[in-house]
Amino acid sequence: MPNPFAIIGRVFLSALAEIGRIATFTGHSLASIIVPPIYWRSILGQMWLIGYNSLPVVGLTALFTGAALAQQIFVGGSRFNAESVVPGVVVIAIVRELGPVLGGLMVAGRVSSAMAAELGTMRVTEQIDALVTLSTDPFKYLIAPRLIAATITLPVLVLVANIIGVLGGYIIGTGRLGLNPSTYLQVTSDFLEQSDVISSMVKAGVFGFIIALMGSYHGYNSSGGAQGVGKATTNAVVSAFITILLANLIITVIVFGGAS
């Protein structure tokens, strides 16, 4: 019978080795972002793919979530005659948490997998080796544009998602729950603070970086043909999801942990 401590030890060491490999990859990627050449055309292309193409899925997610949230808060609040808190709670929940987290997760599902699949296919068909033989650094040409584009684009996407999420709450709140439209907007505006928006944008930027990093890391290091690319795609999405949720917790504790 295998020794359970040996199994735990092996898993722990293998996790440490993976963290080390990701850290090395991140360091190499950051260095390639800073040092020229910078491929602006690739960055713009990636911004289009990540931002514009993700807009429908992120927008719809935010709209439905904001609407459902308003309904739930109304039901919960009505137990204490506190239906008027709906706009305030909706805007804080959307801007601080649900906008960036759900937006990040939706984009991770779309973009991390696509990046891993594309880079993985390039790896197994020797296109990445071909880049090297053509005097082109794959980190600068492939990884850096994805990281820059995702880090810039996610905050914009999340900003739009936040607005649409609040709009979802407004539509349900005023159309179905009988809240006054002008009061709804006034309360939303009163509850929203600058720090909420800033933390939302910071989270989105970090999530964007994580999404591109995980997609690139797993795709770049994939091996073993079509099966390897499939595995890289799955690993990219799963690791992006977990890392986004962990990063969200850390940022939330740092930004709001001391708030009364």
Positions touching other proteins (CB under 8 A) are 121-122, 125-127, 129-130, 132-137, 141
Nearest approach, Cβ of 83 to other proteins (angstroms)?
A: 53
**Cβ proximity to other proteins, 21 vs 176, nearer residue:** 21
**Cβ proximity to other proteins, 46 vs 243, nearer residue:** 46
Is the Cβ–Cβ distance between 64 and 168 less than 8 Å? yes
- What residue spans of the chain are helical by DSSP H? 4-34, 40-50, 55-78, 86-92, 99-107, 113-124, 127-133, 138, 144-175, 181-191, 194-220, 225-256
Nearest approach, Cβ of 182 to other proteins (angstroms)?
A: 51
Nearest-Å Rg of the Cα atoms of the chain is 21
Nearest approach, Cβ of 239 to other proteins (angstroms)?
A: 24
Instruction: Please choose, from the candidates 53, 59, 10, 15, the residue with its C-alpha nearest in 3D space to the C-alpha of residue 149.
Output: 53
Q: Under DSSP, is residue 146 helix (H, G, I), strand (E, B) or coil?
A: helix
**Cβ proximity to other proteins, 1 vs 134, nearer residue:** 134
**Cβ proximity to other proteins, 108 vs 122, nearer residue:** 122
C-alpha to C-alpha distance for 249 and 139, rounded to whole angstroms? 30
**Cβ proximity to other proteins, 97 vs 137, nearer residue:** 137
Nearest approach, Cβ of 119 to other proteins (angstroms)?
A: 12
**Cβ proximity to other proteins, 123 vs 203, nearer residue:** 123
C-alpha to C-alpha distance for 134 and 156, rounded to whole angstroms? 35
Nearest 5°: the CA angle 211, 230, 209 is: 10
Nearest approach, Cβ of 131 to other proteins (angstroms)?
A: 8
Nearest approach, Cβ of 50 to other proteins (angstroms)?
A: 15
